[in-house]
Structure 1
Amino acid sequence: MSLVSTLGLSAGSAYATPSLKSVRDPPAVVLDNGTFIGVHDGVVDRYLGIPFALPPTGDMRFRLPVPNTSYNATYNATDFGMDCPQQNSGQSTVDDVITEEIAIMLGLTRAGPRPSGEDCLTINVWTPSDIQPGANLSVLAWIFGGGFEVGSTADYDGANIVRRSIDLGEPVIYVSMNYRSEASFGFLASKEVKEAGVGNLGLWDQRQALRWIQRYIGAFGGDPTKVTIWGESAGGISVALQMLTNGGDTEGLFRAAVMASGSPIPVGDIANGQTYYDDLVRETNCTAATDTLECLRHVPYNRLKEAVDMTPGLLSPQSLNLAWLPRADGRFLIAPPQQLVLNDSVADVPFITGDCDDEGTIFSITQIQFSTSEQFEDWFINTYMPTVPDEQIDEVLRLYPDDPSQGSPFGTGNFTLFFPRQFKRMAAIQGDLVFQAPRRFFLQQRSGKQNAWAYLDKRFKSVPLVGLFHGSDLQDFYGSDGSGILADYLVNFVNHLDPKNQTGLEWPKYSDISPSLFTLSGQDDSISITPDNFRMDAMGLLTNLSLQFPL
């Protein structure tokens, strides 16, 4: 396999400065017997919307992905493929407005409404222009987030990362993948699903995309032995779970991992989603079917989508206790994720993991009507810990008190503006339960066993109401022009398995003896090393309860 001659490649070097011909002619790459025509800007070539698996439609719905057949034609690879189905729970709230305004303020890419459907398993590749076969560049494989409900590769411009890598003299290839990220299409959960061995399909899709990279990335100038997987939010969680599956055996699919706002989450068995599966069966008139899973496979797409949209979404009262998300299915995850960590079922690869300071604020805005401690306590117990003994609940409530000065956004005193005082309490506990505590638990368990680095992002603390909110660290990686403060560390990690920066602060490895965080603070790009010792008792208790009573 090789890049076709239309790239105007130089025979003398693995990476050539873009020529006039390469700027003028569209780039092309040959995969099997097929030719994919991409687009470039003279610095970066991109090939978009390449199918990596057969469409999971018809009888292939709710089945494991099947590899693509050999390519045998000429393909237009100038635009993203269709998004996978997006859950629409009809919950238009203040959160929608704030999220959009924040995205605009940070300069993050927003793809806007796009075509979506089941025929969505495509992959995208960005390379330095005129890269030659044999260049053997390192590969950064991006997995987007979206609460396992929504998300699109079109929201993220890999050219920013590639351009920055070229500027550093450390060129990399960037790949992004679609996966069945939306609710039941990718994460159907029930005993029927477990028995059929088709749980966590979105994670299987990601695995298949990584196999595609192994087979084809050489044609783009990439080295299949130098793949780093990277994700944020649901994507970061996905990266963690790719590290835990298969007894920790990577099958050579990746050699390093980066998790932004995502760690092994405190979830239990896939049967914990039975009530939502039963709702789908009822709403699609499959109740009388002998095989309800088979019946769901043949429900018309629009009808199934309507039923899915009726289930609780990310902005519903149950918030981060998602209806549809990865769970232990006996196959991809043979046990709850945090138990797999305790069992050392973890890929022995270097990794980076980090969180924003105020992970829980965005997910708490929908509950701003809670003004009393009693309302908060009822919500918290019923949502996250209905089976936890009262004395342990009391200890949680003591460690997360009815005191806005100890809530999130952290470090903002009693200030709540027009929000009720329970908002900051709710934001603190949700951010720790789902993000900060799992991150620290993972690092503590892996300390001394493999190289790991951790960060804490506080750069945009001044954002009203939400502080340094979930997802805001993406700006520090992608930037508006590829110059995010963490981009250099990321590129060096992908190439050298060490997030060094020749001109920046040295980033020490995480150690349980002296656990430290590479901390970003202030919009002036200030960075420092700080101890990972905040809310130790509180997060320790949440971790212990999560191990005993997973979601």
Structure 2
Amino acid sequence: MKATALVALVAGLLPIAGAVPAQNVNVTIPSGTIIGSVDNGVESFRGIPYADPPIGDLRFKPPVRLSRHLGEFDATRKPVACHLGPIFGPFADTEDTTATFAEINVAISVLKDTAGDTPSNFDEDCLIINVQRPQGVEAGANLPVLFWIYGGGFVAGSTPPFDGKNLITTGVQLNQPFVYVSVNYRVGGWGFMPGEEILREGSGNAGLRDQRMGLEWVADNIAEFGGDPTRVIIWGESAGAISVFDQLVLYDGNATYKGEELFHGAIMNSGTALPTDPLNGPKGEAIYSAVVKAAGCEGKPEGSLSCLRDLHNDDFAAAANSVPGIFSYPSLALSYLPRPDGTVLTDSPDALAKEGKFHKVPVIMGSQEDEGTAFTLFQVNMGTDEKIVNYLSKYYFGDATIDQISEFVGTYSDKISDGSPFRSILPTELYPGKRRIAAILGDMVFDLMRRVTLQIFAENHPEVPSWSYLSSYDYNLGLNPVGTKHGSDMPVFFNGSNDDLPTISGRTYYLNFLYELDPNNGTQVDVLWPQWKEGRQLLWYNKKNNSLRNDTYRESSYDFMLKNIDSLRF
């Protein structure tokens, strides 16, 4: 069926204003008949299990494909969420935090933007997938598929807050209808437990394997929902974006299933190749040991891993979440995150990209202008080079020398006006050095790591199409104390009105990419977005207009990161 005819079909089947939609709709797949709901022209099928419950002996282990028949499955209810890992604390190292309730509210706001509202229903049996489509679409429609992976620092997140209705409605309006899929994956200690015991068992990075099994479910089933398994784009933000990059390099770039590619393009909002130490490295071992100790599993005859699996989930959660959270003094030195395990991730993601061991598909990578401001609320006095160097050495770069870290820190100005939020005219900061450390953390995890990743692609595999952007729509004349912070884009994409330029332009570029693997082709755009390798230019999202900006700011910091990336692993 031609696209124009399909669009007409979809538009004709959408309910007119004031009409009462049908109560439900059914789709039959090999595992059962899935009963979905209809709301304002969008059909939703929520909470469909794609794996057996990862409980008991399966805790921490790779997911096991669903082995039971679902019969008639009610997919009209709000799905469960996977349990949360550590979020807040500790707030200080040797001194009390200077953060106020206002700063804590900023952190909560960022968590809400990246991970969504806190779910009301958690369950260890949480490996489910959701499908949404325009009303009236049926099997055989062969619509492209947008596969969403949520963020949350690998310790939070769930699918319900990232409802695809507004995106789907926009797609229909732009004559680019599509199927939207979102997947639950395990986070925290359930999905990313590190350590030698996990490595030896072959259970590393269970959360990434959950995502991969979700993609395999799409390959097996999405055609029955009207989706085309040969036109899948994966999209994620924050930890979800890092996960998207990890999906590129998973199994040394092997993204095939039953002889076909699982996805055909990738979009990364605020996250790319995060350099990481091995699963059984010093950082991973320290986390595992702390959890085992907190759980009372030291010296158990059955072994610490069996002991952790035998715990009631509440007791395990208390132990797993006794380590530092994402909003804490260590901050982005995450307790739980994907780490090389020799099987799923055979090396640090940046190293795999350099070696060409990645799935070579078109990519979009972007950042918010002030990625680090919300992750520097719970530190104290960073007013000297020495304090920042010691902080980074202790919590982040265990393989780097003090001289290397000192050189890196020296590439950042100590003037308040040069820190993040960038371009701000505010003359003060929460504590000495706050804006400088915000610039450093935001760059080394998100913004300049994005540029490093793009440069690795451009140098080693220039045949891979790539586009990049910078979002500054919360700049507000330089008066916003956190600027365009991490997570600012999620309300814009998911909840914003198409009357607002950042929302409609962002959705248009992404839907064009979904359809044509090029953000410029399809619906007309206001600014032609060049590939990054053609001149290192960014699409610059602003509140009232878009433009292009050279991706050359903080060049000395970027140069250091590119040359020393092997020593900057988390």
TM-score by length of 1: 0.92
Q: What's the secondary structure of 1:155's corresponding residue?
A: coil
Q: Does 1:145 align with 2:151?
A: yes
- Distance in 2 (CA, whole Å) between partners of 1:30 and 1:417 is 60
- Distance in 1 (CA, whole Å) between partners of 2:87 and 2:110 is 22
Q: Which amino acid aligns with 1:391?
A: D
1:400 to partner: Cα distance: 1.4
Q: Which amino acid aligns with 1:153?
A: T
2:239 maps to what in 1?
234
- Distance in 2 (CA, whole Å) between partners of 1:416 and 1:69 is 61
1:468 maps to what in 2?
484
1:404 maps to what in 2?
416
1:118 to partner: Cα distance: 0.9
* Structure 1 residues 474 and 42: CA distance shift in structure 2, 3 A: closer
1:286 maps to what in 2?
297
1:5 maps to what in 2?
none
1:491 maps to what in 2?
511
* Structure 1 residues 90 and 315: CA distance shift in structure 2, 3 A: closer
1:170 to partner: Cα distance: 0.6
CA contact (8 A) 1:89 1:311 kept: no
1:355 maps to what in 2?
367
Q: Does 1:434 align with 2:445?
A: yes
CA contact (8 A) 2:354 2:457 kept: no
Give the stretch that moved more between structures: 381-390 or 267-276: 381-390
What is the aligned-residue identity percentage? Answer: 33
2:72 maps to what in 1?
74
- Distance in 1 (CA, whole Å) between partners of 2:474 and 2:374 is 14
Q: Does 1:196 align with 2:201?
A: yes
- Distance in 2 (CA, whole Å) between partners of 1:72 and 1:233 is 33
1:267 maps to what in 2?
276
1:535 to partner: Cα distance: 1.1
- Distance in 2 (CA, whole Å) between partners of 1:296 and 1:102 is 31
Superposition CA RMSD, Å: 2.3
* Structure 1 residues 22 and 136: CA distance shift in structure 2, 3 A: farther
CA contact (8 A) 1:14 1:133 kept: no
2:25 maps to what in 1?
27
| From 460, 470, 478, the counterpart of 1:456 | 470
| From 549, 557, 563, the counterpart of 1:544 | 563
| From 124, 131, 134, the counterpart of 1:118 | 124
| From 316, 328, 343, the counterpart of 2:340 | 328
* Structure 1 residues 482 and 156: CA distance shift in structure 2, 3 A: farther
Q: Does 1:129 align with 2:141?
A: no
CA contact (8 A) 2:85 2:189 kept: no
Q: What's the secondary structure of 1:23's corresponding residue?
A: coil
* Structure 1 residues 222 and 70: CA distance shift in structure 2, 3 A: farther
Count of equivalent residues: 534
* Structure 1 residues 440 and 89: CA distance shift in structure 2, 3 A: closer
1:342 to partner: Cα distance: 1.0
Report Cα offsets for 1:424-458 as digits up to 9, x if no partner: 00100001111122211211121222111111111
1:31 to partner: Cα distance: 1.8
Q: Which amino acid aligns with 2:438?
A: A
- Distance in 2 (CA, whole Å) between partners of 1:517 and 1:339 is 24
1:257 maps to what in 2?
266
1:401 to partner: Cα distance: 2.9
* Structure 1 residues 428 and 14: CA distance shift in structure 2, 3 A: closer
| From 385, 389, 395, the counterpart of 1:383 | 395
CA contact (8 A) 2:295 2:308 kept: yes
1:23 to partner: Cα distance: 1.8
CA contact (8 A) 1:15 1:131 kept: no
Q: Which amino acid aligns with 1:297?
A: R
2:50 maps to what in 1?
52
* Structure 1 residues 543 and 292: CA distance shift in structure 2, 3 A: farther
* Structure 1 residues 502 and 60: CA distance shift in structure 2, 3 A: same
- Distance in 1 (CA, whole Å) between partners of 2:161 and 2:469 is 24
- Distance in 1 (CA, whole Å) between partners of 2:370 and 2:264 is 30
- Distance in 2 (CA, whole Å) between partners of 1:22 and 1:248 is 47
- Distance in 2 (CA, whole Å) between partners of 1:189 and 1:390 is 26
1:19 to partner: Cα distance: 5.6
| From 541, 555, 567, the counterpart of 1:520 | 541
- Distance in 1 (CA, whole Å) between partners of 2:173 and 2:21 is 18
Q: What's the secondary structure of 1:216's corresponding residue?
A: helix
- Distance in 1 (CA, whole Å) between partners of 2:318 and 2:558 is 38
CA contact (8 A) 2:231 2:263 kept: yes
* Structure 1 residues 416 and 371: CA distance shift in structure 2, 3 A: farther
Q: What's the secondary structure of 1:453's corresponding residue?
A: strand
* Structure 1 residues 505 and 362: CA distance shift in structure 2, 3 A: same
Unpaired segments of 5 or more residues in structure 1?
A: 1-9
1:4 maps to what in 2?
none
- Distance in 2 (CA, whole Å) between partners of 1:101 and 1:438 is 24
Give the stretch that moved more between structures: 167-176 or 76-85: 76-85
- Distance in 2 (CA, whole Å) between partners of 1:399 and 1:445 is 21
* Structure 1 residues 421 and 461: CA distance shift in structure 2, 3 A: farther
* Structure 1 residues 388 and 473: CA distance shift in structure 2, 3 A: same
- Distance in 1 (CA, whole Å) between partners of 2:212 and 2:524 is 34
CA contact (8 A) 1:36 1:75 kept: yes
CA contact (8 A) 1:38 1:77 kept: yes
Report Cα offsets for 1:341-390 as digits up to 9, x if no partner: 11111111011000011111110111145455543333233222344233
1:248 to partner: Cα distance: 1.3
CA contact (8 A) 1:16 1:131 kept: no
Unpaired segments of 5 or more residues in structure 2?
A: 1-5, 92-98
* Structure 1 residues 89 and 224: CA distance shift in structure 2, 3 A: closer
Give the stretch that moved more between structures: 537-546 or 86-95: 86-95
- Distance in 2 (CA, whole Å) between partners of 1:542 and 1:277 is 29
- Distance in 1 (CA, whole Å) between partners of 2:51 and 2:70 is 15
* Structure 1 residues 90 and 519: CA distance shift in structure 2, 3 A: closer
1:44 to partner: Cα distance: 0.7
Q: Which amino acid aligns with 1:489?
A: Y
* Structure 1 residues 238 and 103: CA distance shift in structure 2, 3 A: closer
- Distance in 2 (CA, whole Å) between partners of 1:194 and 1:533 is 40
- Distance in 2 (CA, whole Å) between partners of 1:162 and 1:109 is 20
Q: Which amino acid aligns with 1:256?
A: G
- Distance in 2 (CA, whole Å) between partners of 1:80 and 1:544 is 47
1:391 to partner: Cα distance: 2.8
Report Cα offsets for 1:249-288 as digits up to 9, x if no partner: 2101101100000101011211131011011112222211
- Distance in 2 (CA, whole Å) between partners of 1:22 and 1:259 is 38
* Structure 1 residues 400 and 146: CA distance shift in structure 2, 3 A: same
| From 210, 235, 240, the counterpart of 1:205 | 210
1:6 maps to what in 2?
none
Report Cα offsets for 1:198-251 as digits up to 9, x if no partner: 100000000000000011111110001111000000000000000011221210
- Distance in 2 (CA, whole Å) between partners of 1:538 and 1:28 is 54
Q: Does 1:224 align with 2:229?
A: yes
CA contact (8 A) 1:14 1:132 kept: no
TM-score by length of 2: 0.89
- Distance in 1 (CA, whole Å) between partners of 2:36 and 2:517 is 30
